[in-house]
């Protein structure tokens, strides 16, 4: 196994590449570093949403529009929106606390078309008393859609907060419900 010394890379201003996805009624921004997808924006939000997020969480990064570089990510997102993809195989550039990373990995365990509560996630990661912290980690998820935080609901089944807004969350849940294979239910 080989390792790479990234200390000097961290001193440079890394590029963050971005593009806008426009597909039917969907319009949102995505961004990636050289290591993978690092941001999926909210439906219908302006460029400023992504720009603010990048400058806050990836300080010193330079935003560079590059549709071609983002094509693999856009392709899988569009396949998902068309009901042709249930899981993503693209690389993600995760940056967060160890707790956030643990929660985001747990989100990947929620099957397509199903929902878990915040309590379910807390139980899944072995921290049953950390429901509020789980909620905060989910709220910090930069990967709307690809790391499926839209599949997390309140304990009583109520739709709860979502960075993309409840309309986007409802639309994504409805899309998955409609496209479940015959005989499967949520």
User: Residues with catalytic annotation?
Assistant: 149
Q: Quick one: the chain helix, strand, coil %, rounded to 5? A: 40, 15, 45
User: Measuring CA to CA, how many Å separate 99 from each of 92, 127, 148, 153?
Assistant: 17, 10, 17, 20
Return the H-helix or E-strand segment holding 8: helix 7-11
Contact (CB, 8 A) for 36 and 93: yes
């Amino acid at each position: 196994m080989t390792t790479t010394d990234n200390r000097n890379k961290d001193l440079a201003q890394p590029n963050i590449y971005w593009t806008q996805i426009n597909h039917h009624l969907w319009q949102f921004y995505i961004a990636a570093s050289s290591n993978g997808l690092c941001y999926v924006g909210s439906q219908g939000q302006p460029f400023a949403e992504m720009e603010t997020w990048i400058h806050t969480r990836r300080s010193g990064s330079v935003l560079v529009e590059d549709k071609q570089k983002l094509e693999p990510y856009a392709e899988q997102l569009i396949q998902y929106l068309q009901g042709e993809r249930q899981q993503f195989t693209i690389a993600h550039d995760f940056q967060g606390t160890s707790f956030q990373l643990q929660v985001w990995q747990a989100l990947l365990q929620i099957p397509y078309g199903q929902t878990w509560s915040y309590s379910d996630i807390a139980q899944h990661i072995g921290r049953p008393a950390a429901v509020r912290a789980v909620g905060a980690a989910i709220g910090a998820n930069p990967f709307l859609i690809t790391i499926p935080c839209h599949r997390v609901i309140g304990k009583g089944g109520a739709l709860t907060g979502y960075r993309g807004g409840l309309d986007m969350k409802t639309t994504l849940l409805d899309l998955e419900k409609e496209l479940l294979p015959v005989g499967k239910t949520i």
